[in-house]
Every structure is written in structure tokens, then in C-alpha cells.
Structure 1
């Protein structure tokens, strides 16, 4: 297992193919238009993870990364995809879909708990433990520490295995179709967030 670190873009030819891609982002905060995109993590389920770091003032050109993420033939795996899709759309100008979100799938099948964080899923479903200590660290600094790099990589390291297990549970509980409808809506949900409806339920009566 190797964590590969890249500045501003993936190298040409990296992560080509048709395998599903696990994707995550690190930003300066939780308000997408204010808090810039700093890192995109990506893995095709193989032994390696790739981190693409963007500097302050980046133009986010990243043609190789964009081509891989925008490929409509490749499923993208996220944990809380709503946030990552919005960050990628806003800064990279692409919609990185189609989507499978492990957090949504967890909420649909793990109705016996309200603990749907990635750490909880990895521990219960895969018997592994990950640290979230670096989650709130400064991702915009001039250097990323080894701890930050390992944390960022761990956010995509387990998503392929989690998807497999959650798919089995969705089928078992008869909720695969409603899950797919939620996944299909996520790009629109992300665009609503960007457009200013992040805190409003436009489907409610009020």
C-alpha cells in the first residue's frame, strides 16, 4: 500500500480504466464558496491511494483529474457525497457522478443506530479502525504532515469494501431501489447547496 502525493493534478495515465473510484475531499471548512478545496483523494480499489493537493490561488485546471472524475461510465464512491460533490463542482467545474454514498446507504440499512460516521462503518462492517484526529487540521498549509496524508488516504481506502457490504444489506432489506434514487438525486442536492438552499428543505410545506 502506497500513498502517492501530487501537486495540482494527477499524472497522465494514472487511474485510467473503468473501475469504480473512491473519492473524498479536504477543504478549509464547511462552507463551499468560502472554504477552498485543498485536497482530492482518489482510489480505484487497488493497493494505492492518490492525493492531489491544490495550492492557494490555484486555477484548478487539473485536466487529468477532471477527466477521470467526470467519466460518466465510472461509479464514484463517497462517504457523505453531498459535500464532496459540491466542492468538486464549485472548484473543479465538473460533476463527479454517478454516485454511491456509503453514508446514505448506512442510514437506510443500519436503522438500529444513529452512528453513521466513516469510522463507525469501518469498525463495525470491516473490523478495522481508523483515526479521525486530523479531520479538523489545517489543510491549506504549505506542507501536509505524514499524519494528514495517512488520514486523507484512509478516507478512500475502505470505500470499495464498504460499498460491497452495504450493497448486500440494501438487497437484504429491499431498499436498493430507494437508495439508487437517493444517489441519483445527490448531484442536484449538491447544486442546491451551492445555489443557497443548503439549510432549506424545498420539499417541505413551509
Structure 2
């Protein structure tokens, strides 16, 4: 491990509370491009850096980044003001060999990619990794208390991160979100190594990144609206057209989708399929007073496009109420087996398999996650045998579930 060079940037510093070793820690405030460039030069040889962001997205389509926090393995913390600096300077670090440690990186990565232009080439997520030790999507505070015996103060969680200057409680909160991540990673990895699950985590991180790299296409936006799942095919085509229009409009204007048209309104319009403006404006969920004439016309045009479309809706194989009733017992049996294995192995069952994963497996989808990698070794092979009738599920002498061969089906 290379020697950690102290930052020693003569700008603003904050003294924050006790860290892991009980000593006071300095947090450096970076609000000039010159200071950021110097920082990048100093920390570019680090092996690992903990990272987090603070942002707001209540009134915009894209999250508005308000703060970037970095912590080094020597305990130094850096707070970067994205309103004052060009964050693309961080791309040098992201594209290098430094491992960036996150907690729950899904939203952070999307924000950083938009602000920096790229995401870290090497990264680690404490939330995902801890899931392989039995914690279900645990928050940072839960993990710190479990693995390190540290309790966080979350007083500034819902404060305004766009305000300047930050308050002392905000600085403490921002620093606490990163300063313990190196030690937390070490503790989690020690347990993962004992169980031989480090390769599982690496595989899952790679899968998660691959999935996150695929942005939602406007034509698929309707699938996120639960009220549309029970619609007939023609209504689904209208919903697809309306949701695609709303998604595109929201992106272009950087405003939340709900500001344009609510999910309820899209479902109601799709079901009613109005042919006139008068009918449209009297439907449930449609607030005529908030819709400009231009928006009203665009909605009617989207309805017409949906009605005229001959392209089938590409919904999941088994979706909502369309899941065949006669397969429900098999699905429940598979869910029970996944839960039993997860409990036995002390791993988060939601990481092992989702309901969609099981439906893919039952539908004989060869791309099912349960048919490859660690999932196949842990539960996938057994589930295939259950689905194909080679094995059944029974209760053993200790009241635990076990799978047993069904000789008559061989």
C-alpha cells in the first residue's frame, strides 16, 4: 500500500466529531477548480476512496447534485461544492485504478455520470455486499451498528443541501456518510471471505452495473405504472404512447413526470380512450386547470397514436393479473424454497431471487439469472429440478424444508 500523502490544502476546514479512532478529523471544503485539481493530484495514488453525494430531485427530472463527499483511508474527508467547481476533473480518478466505496450506489452513480461524465471503473457497495451476510437492503446506520458498533446521528438528513454555507450539523452528517466506509468494507469483507462469498459479491456488482447502464426507454415507461397492468391490449398501447410522451417531455424540460400528468391520469385516460377534448378534461385524475392548451393537444395526439398503433405491448412474460392461476402453487413452492435456502445460508432472499426471476425460470426463459453463476449453484439447480418435476419439497425431521427426488417422474 502506498504511503498516504496528506491533503494540506489551505482552504476552509471544519473540525467534525470523533471518528473511529476517537480523534478529531478535518473536513476540507473545496469550492474552486484550482483546489479540486490539486486535490485530484494528491489523492490519485490512493488505493481506495469512500464516496457519497447529497442531492435534491423533488422539482426536477434529473437529480440536482448539491454535495460530493470523499473520505480517504487515513480519515481525511473532502466536501466538494458542485455549484462552484467543474466536477469533470474527477474523471481522472474514476478512470484510474482507485476502488470507490459506496453505500447504496444506484442513485449516486446516475448522478455522478451526469455530472462527471463517467462513473468509477472500480467500485464497491457496502449495502449489496452486506446482503450476502443476511441483511436486507440495510441502511448505513444499521450496518455501522452491526459491524462496528457505531451509531450515527441523522439530524440533518432532510435538510436543504443547496443552502450555503452548510451548517455544522450538515457537515457532521455529510462526513459521517463516508468516513466509516473503509472500516465497514473491511469488516464485511472479512465475513465474506470466511464464507467464500467474495466472488458472489463481485458477480452481483457486475450484474448491477450492467443493469444500471441501460436507461429506461420512453416506450417502456408505462411498465412502471402499476395502475396500467390490468388494462386490455388496446388500452395498454394508449398507455405506452402517453407514458412515452410524458417521459420525453419531462426529460426535455427537466421536471418530474408527475408535474406533467399523474400515473392515475394516464391509467384513466388509457382505459377511457377519449376521442374528444371535452371527455378528456372530465376524466378522473385529469386536472384541466393545470394543463395548457399545448399539453392538452399533445395528450390527444398521444392517444391517437396509441389507438393507431399495431405494435404489441412488450410487457413481461407474466405480468400482474395475467399470471396463470394454475402456476401460482408452483411459484409459491419455489418462493418457499428460496426463502428456506436464504434463511439457512443467512443471505438476503431478495438478492437471491425476485418474483420476476422465478417467473422467468418457470416460463423457461434461458436468460433467467437463476440459471447461471452463484444463483444457479445456490438455488437455481434445485429450482430447475422442482419446476421440471424431478424433485419435490418436503419437511425434514427438524421441521426444515428439504428437496427430495421424485423417482416416479424420472
Q: Confirm or deny that 1:25 pairs with 2:50.
A: no
Is contact 1:83-1:190 (8 Å) kept? no
Label 1:115 to 1:131 Cα distance change in 2 as closer, same or farther (>3 A).
farther
**Residue 6 of structure 1: how far off its partner (Å):** 0.9
Q: Cα RMSD between the aligned structures?
A: 2.8
| 3-state DSSP of counterpart to 2:152 | coil
Q: 2:72: which partner in 1?
A: 44
TM-score, with length taken from structure 1: 0.84
**Structure with the larger helix share:** 2
TM-score, with length taken from structure 2: 0.44
Query: Which protein, 1 or 2, shows the higher relative CO under an 8 Å CA cutoff with sep ≥ 6?
Result: 1
Label 1:189 to 1:116 Cα distance change in 2 as closer, same or farther (>3 A).
same
Label 1:132 to 1:8 Cα distance change in 2 as closer, same or farther (>3 A).
farther
**Residue 86 of structure 1: how far off its partner (Å):** 1.2
Q: What is the number of residues matched between the two proteins?
A: 200
Q: 2:143: which partner in 1?
A: 121
Label 1:11 to 1:130 Cα distance change in 2 as closer, same or farther (>3 A).
farther
Q: 1:132: which partner in 2?
A: 154
Q: 1:175: which partner in 2?
A: 197
Q: Which protein is bigger by CA-based radius of gyration?
A: 2
Label 1:104 to 1:8 Cα distance change in 2 as closer, same or farther (>3 A).
farther
Please, which runs of 5 or more residues in structure 1 have no aligned partner? Answer: none
Question: Superposition pairs for residues 1-206 of structure 1, below 5 Å?
Answer: 1-7=25-31, 9=33, 10-12=36-38, 13-29=41-57, 33-55=61-83, 61-71=86-96, 73-109=97-133, 111=134, 113-114=135-136, 116-192=138-214, 205=360
Label 1:4 to 1:191 Cα distance change in 2 as closer, same or farther (>3 A).
same
Please, which runs of 5 or more residues in structure 2 have no aligned partner? Answer: 1-24, 225-314, 317-355, 364-410
